[in-house]
Chains A and B, each alone.
Chain A
Amino acid sequence: MTMHDVPFLYVNITALCAFVLMFAVFLAAKKTPEIRAFLLMMVDCVVWIAGSILMRLQVWPGLNFWYYVSLLAIFSMEFVFYNFLHSFARENGKFMLTVFLTATFALVPGTLTGFFLAPPVPSVQPDGTVFYVYHTVYWHMIFPCVLFITVIIASLQLLGRMKREQGVHSSGALILFLGGVIELVGNLMQIFIPGNTFPFDALAGVIYAGMMVFALYRRRLFRMTLVVSRGILMLAVVAVCFLLGIFCVDPFLKFFQVRIGLGYQASLTVVSLLLAGMLSLTYSLVRRVIDTLFTREEQQNKLLKSFSAEVSQSLSTDDIMAKVSGVIQQELPVVQLYICLADEKGYTARYSSRPLAPMAFSISKDSPKVHYLEEQEPYLIMREFCATPHAISDWAEEKELFRRLEIDCVGAMRDGRQIVGLVLLSARDHGRTFSSAEMGFLETVCSVASIAMKNASLYEQMFREARIDALTGAYNYRYFVEKEEELFKACYSDCITLMFVDVDDLKLYNQLYGVEAGNDALRCISDELTLCAGESGTVFRTSGKVFAVLLPHWDAHRANVLAEEIQRRVRTINSTAGRQKYKPLTVSVGICAAPYAASSAKELMNNADLAAFNAKKSGKDQIMLFRGASAIPQKLAERTDAIVDNVDRGSDEYGAMPMISALTAAIDAKDHYTFAHSKNVARYAANLAVAAGLNNDQVRTIYAAGLLHDIGKISIPEDILNKSGKLTDTEYGLMKNHVNNSIEMIRHLPEMDYLIPAVLGHHERWDGKGYPRGIAGEDIPISGRCLAIADVFDAMTTDRPYRKGLPLEYALMQISQGAGTQFDPQLATVFIHLVQGNEMPLAGRLAGGHA
């Protein structure tokens, strides 16, 4: 047997490179038993080919040494090959493996001593080429041959068993079988083609190794992109070009020169063109592989990157779910997608990629699908799940649900070990198999989404908690202020109505039946309000027993109809079975509509509040509409008198007048000046309110507040009150505190809390530099603004122990100068006009002069 060493060298070097390359790239793969067996095989192939090359090159320590190394590797190949098949088939029994390993070890001494095959002898030809001549093939060679044949038989059995037991899933078996045939044919050609100079065995070995890689890939044991890079593929292109150059140029040249009869130059041109064509073909093929393998992954990465950036910025779960749906639908062939989020019930459907898809379902937390996801995989493919014993724990209705929704795959969104959401996918081609790349993509999307969802849920929860009243579930006062402002602006070209619903006699109800019953009543009323308002309005609980209903684009008339419905429903709450032991519930409703009766959100709130107050004062279970400003009367003083006299007499709803009288009497006893001053301020402010077009209720409130606005001065020492000199900082601090003292006193008095805004605002300034709160402009209640002007005017124009009263003109000038800084400019102008036009009776020394 003789062999030419030149093609051997090139082909073997190529094969060696291929084996080394495969070994190197699979070192990076996850080490499963199959991968380990493959690596072992590659090592054996490398030793075999390298030994063969070094033998031909007669590298130190010499031909014989490398020959034995190569032969040892060849004789070990049977075991290594069977080991790979054994791992690939996932066989449990190790008997045959042990037999082959033992046999392989048994062959080692014979191999190393040349017992089977003696080393070849190099024979140098006259043209300088070297042939390796195998002189002696002993009959002992039968031993390795028997092992070889036995391994082939055992391998075929194994592949057959694998095919039988694993059915269509054993496509790897077919690939390995075909590879084995190629390998066998290569070896037979190597042995039996007479005068062969081509290393068919090495070439077949490379092809077979490639098929093994394919079989491993088909079994999803590694991801191609994890072991193959663009660089490696480009290296492969270079290698192919290199081989083409080596093997094709010379024979082609000879072919064209000898057979075709072309000249050297022409032949060279044709060969160059052919070579260029082959190279470009190779390049385009490799390019295609690169595109298939990498472009999709790059596209996925790009999508994931932008998805991650978008969802991490979003604080809305709805928005995140829409983005999850979008990104999955872009990359996965799904026709329908649902997202279910964890709550007390289980995993409730919260999102569907189609608006008309059924959403009224939830998946129990105890579902075997959830268990499977918790324990096994980050995703669940329904077809695979149904083939597990977990599936038998499914309820019939759960199976029916998934069948009806045509769910093929479920992805889990996790927070640690806990599953916080499920992504249900329905494939475009129902029942199709999702690839590992697609599942990897889904897993990443779910993982990114779950973090974003967690943040967004926390935010939404906090957002909700900050805005929801824990007792009734209605929005709270804080959100009311925010929402009212927002809706008022939104309805600038239309109308908006605010309704305050004040529960009557809740205190009595609590005393009669206990706080829990009271709370229950509030919950029922809140539910009724929500039901009545529906989608048209928003319900808030603004204080203990007061609800607000904000109705954008509603006018007062419609609101009035709604209020009647609310009253009717509230009355029936305690008439239902089981609640008849409780007294009937009623509510007083105050309504104000903008722009008809309010020009700002603040005013809308104040007016509606006032209307509710008046409804209460009018005997409860009433509806009061704030009717807005009336025309300035011809005889202002008379009108004012008519209104405030009611207060003074304690008639109508002003049952609190005895209390007010008692308090003013207390002031009088301590500080007569303050008493007189209070009366003046009340009268001036009431006149101003009437002139400014405020309604009777507002005027009465302002008058009563005027009487009590300095009630807090009771707690200030007389020496400070009557001090003639400048007040020290401490004294001024005490003096400033009289407003808070007034509030402290009033807030504990029954039915007088409505005066607080006016009293609290009478030392505020239009520019925000006042006290105690430092609020500005229309944030200061109008009652407070009226009192502020009246208070300053009276303080300036009355005599004090330490100075005489200032001239009227001076006082008016001061008010005029303070308009827009200290005072409401409009009210200040009205006030100056009232005084200058003699429309308002003045008090004390001014009364005479003025008159």
Chain B
Amino acid sequence: MRFDERLKKVSHEQLWQEYCGFLDMSLADYMYTQNRLMEEQLHLWTASGLGRKLLNGRSPATVEEFRAQMPLTSYADYADDLLAKRGDLLCDQPAVWLQTTWEGGLRPIKLAPYTRSMLDTYRHNLIATVMMATGRKKGDFDIKPGYRILYGGAPLPYATGLTPSLFDEDLRFTWLPDSNTHSNLSFSQRIKKGFSMAMSGGVDYFFAIGSVANYITESFGKSGGGSGKLNISLGNALRYLRGKYISRRDGRAIRPGDVFHLKAFFYGGTDARCYKDRLTEAWGIVPTEAVLGTESTCLGCETWEHNGMVLFPDSCFYEFIPEEEMRRSLDDSAYQPRTCLMDGVVGGQNYELVLSVFHGGAFMRYRIGDVYRCVSAGGGELPRFSYVDRAPDVIDIAGFTRITESSMQEVIRLSRLTLGDWALKKEFDEHDNPFLHMYVELPPEAQLDEVVVIRVLQEHLSIYFKYFDSDYGDLKKLLNMEPLQITILKYGTISGYETERGRRLSRINPGMLDVVGLLNYQGRPSVPGGGARL
């Protein structure tokens, strides 16, 4: 029976229990579910060609043995088979292959297979997500067929395109617009189309990654709500006029919240936190954090209390690499970091997430490269998490770039600029907007006027960033600012700093202390070599 039929026939309490009952699980029950489904996954995966290949002769019988014998994996371990779409090597024939960016132009895409069973679980958890976000208390949620969803997602084969298709299997929503039926539209055209539809008939839910949600919100204010070209319903027109009046009275721009009264607002993705306050102010509703990934499926969502996400127990088997272990493994690629399970996490700590995807998924002990903060844990309660950022070896700005050390080297190589040593860090401006900050040295022979150099470098590198990673092109539009800032260091600063500290400086996302240390170091008169003295 479809969910919309069940809404009529089954009590809300029962539906809540079925979809969100896991929130009341004890930690022991949660771990039972995790272990049991992991046993199933282990059973399926070890029998598959991919499993046999990656296990390389090992034959773990239990989850503990598997964790002890199987090293952590990255996409490179799967790339040969998954990029060739070798369905015969998987646990089950995939129902769909989803796509996402890998390392920009260096390794363009990642493909992730989804079995039918994974899709069913994904759909179940998507509905749970909506219940949790619209809930006012347990059992009291607001879902009705026909609700209108302003949707800032990409079409299939991207993961965001899966959401409308999966909902359609169970529940008839109106998508503003349906990314799959309007896949021919560009990103900005889709946003405009969505707004146009919203103005004509209203909007109940809003789904978007944080940066896109912010862009849409800001566009609303700038476009004056879509102007008179839009087909506005009478109700919305009245609300719009009322909103206009209030905004004029308060001396501010009109906000979407003046026109629309959202029942739920979902956001997520990298840097979403930065936009939380302004989105709350603009829409009059606190956005609910949710995590939906390409490799990871639908992972978790906050409840109406906004006190962190509980990860769905039936999506993936979760392991957590403590932060210090993660850093150690980034410094030493041969090091196998220690992981703990859900019952071993500590509140207030950051962890890199390691996933084994249930229900016939391909990825096992997979370092997805995301860092989460455990907001609360202990006392037999389910731990709650919030998304922090990508792992430090990757820079992701607002969910639109994947810059690694090698991809940066490639950009520099392509640009044919004569650059010295460099370090790239993600930083935030005074408005909490994320940007790329490049600390670069110029060789003595390449040093010219500093101001000109910075501008040239910025423009030059931006061109090659766009060439290298098409998503980078949308970034400037989204952020409404130049995403790349450059600071030129004295030649030899980085190597000198490394010598002084006795360790290598991470070229991607060095710690803030290191950045301050670098700047302090170059201020000293004794910096060796370099153009400063020339």
- Picked from A371, A388, A395, the residue with its CB within 8 Å of the CB of B17 is A388
* Residue B25 lies at the interface, judged by CB distance under 8 Å to chain A: yes
- Picked from B21, B117, B121, the residue with its CB within 8 Å of the CB of A388 is B21
Knowing A168-B10, A388-B18, the reply to whether A393 touches B140 (Cβ < 8 A) is no
What is the bound-complex CA distance between A169 and B6, given in angstroms?
12
Residues of A within 8 A of B124 (CB): 392
Are A170 and B40 touching (Cβ within 8 A)? no
Knowing A388-B17, A389-B24, A396-B117, the reply to whether A166 touches B36 (Cβ < 8 A) is no
Knowing A388-B21, A389-B21, A396-B40, the reply to whether A167 touches B8 (Cβ < 8 A) is yes
* Residue A535 lies at the interface, judged by CB distance under 8 Å to chain B: no
Are A167 and B9 touching (Cβ within 8 A)? yes
What is the bound-complex CA distance between A388 and B29, given in angstroms?
13
Number of residues on chain A facing chain B (CB within 8 A):
20
Residues of B within 8 A of A165 (CB): 11-13, 139-140
What is the bound-complex CA distance between A368 and B360, given in angstroms?
19
Segment 342-356 of A: residues with Cβ below 8 Å from B: none
What is the bound-complex CA distance between A395 and B42, given in angstroms?
12
Within the complex, the shortest CB–CB distance from B27 to chain A, in Å, comes to 13
Contact mask for chain A residues 634-674; partner B; CB cutoff 8 A; 1 contact, 0 none:
00000000000000000000000000000000000000000
* Residue A429 lies at the interface, judged by CB distance under 8 Å to chain B: no
A-B Cβ contacts below 8 A, count: 67
What is the bound-complex CA distance between A386 and B6, given in angstroms?
13
Contact mask for chain A residues 162-194; partner B; CB cutoff 8 A; 1 contact, 0 none:
001111111000000000000000000000000
Are B17 and A387 touching (Cβ within 8 A)? yes
* Residue A729 lies at the interface, judged by CB distance under 8 Å to chain B: no
What is the bound-complex CA distance between A424 and B13, given in angstroms?
27
Residues of B within 8 A of A389 (CB): 17-18, 21-22, 24-25, 29, 33
B-side residues, CB < 8 A to A, are 8-15, 17-18, 21-22, 24-25, 29, 32-33, 36-37, 39-40, 117, 121, 124, 139-140, 313-314, 359-360
Contact mask for chain A residues 382-399; partner B; CB cutoff 8 A; 1 contact, 0 none:
000011110111011100
Are A368 and B36 touching (Cβ within 8 A)? yes
Are B18 and A387 touching (Cβ within 8 A)? yes
Interface centre among B36, B121, B360 (most CB of A within 10 A): B36
Residues of B within 8 A of A482 (CB): none
- Picked from B12, B15, B37, the residue with its CB within 8 Å of the CB of A164 is B12
* Residue A516 lies at the interface, judged by CB distance under 8 Å to chain B: no
Nearest chain B residue, comparing its CB with the CB of A387: B18
Interface centre among B18, B117, B139, B359 (most CB of A within 10 A): B18
Are A393 and B33 touching (Cβ within 8 A)? yes
* Residue A366 lies at the interface, judged by CB distance under 8 Å to chain B: yes
What is the bound-complex CA distance between A168 and B8, given in angstroms?
8
Interface centre among A366, A386, A392, A395 (most CB of B within 10 A): A392
What is the bound-complex CA distance between A169 and B22, given in angstroms?
23
Are B37 and A168 touching (Cβ within 8 A)? no
Are A396 and B359 touching (Cβ within 8 A)? yes
Residues of A within 8 A of B12 (CB): 164-167
What is the bound-complex CA distance between A397 and B40, given in angstroms?
9
Contact mask for chain A residues 228-263; partner B; CB cutoff 8 A; 1 contact, 0 none:
000000000000000000000000000000000000
- Apart from A167-B8, A392-B121, what are 13 other A-B pairs with CB-CB below 8 Å? A165-B139, A168-B11, A170-B11, A386-B18, A387-B14, A387-B18, A389-B22, A391-B18, A392-B33, A392-B124, A393-B33, A393-B37, A393-B314
Residues of A within 8 A of B15 (CB): 387
Residues of B within 8 A of A164 (CB): 12
Residues of A within 8 A of B360 (CB): 396
Nearest chain A residue, comparing its CB with the CB of B37: A393
Are A166 and B22 touching (Cβ within 8 A)? no
Residues of A within 8 A of B40 (CB): 395-397
Are B36 and A393 touching (Cβ within 8 A)? yes
> 25 A–B contact pairs at CB < 8 A?
A165-B13, A165-B139, A167-B9, A167-B10, A169-B11, A169-B14, A366-B36, A371-B32, A387-B10, A387-B18, A388-B17, A388-B18, A388-B21, A389-B24, A392-B33, A392-B37, A392-B121, A392-B124, A392-B313, A392-B314, A393-B32, A393-B313, A395-B36, A396-B359, A397-B40
Residues of B within 8 A of A396 (CB): 40, 117, 359-360
What is the bound-complex CA distance between A392 and B316, given in angstroms?
12
Nearest chain B residue, comparing its CB with the CB of A431: B1
User: Which 5 residue pairs of A and B lie closest in terms of their CB atoms, listed nearest first?
Assistant: A389-B21, A387-B18, A166-B11, A392-B314, A167-B11
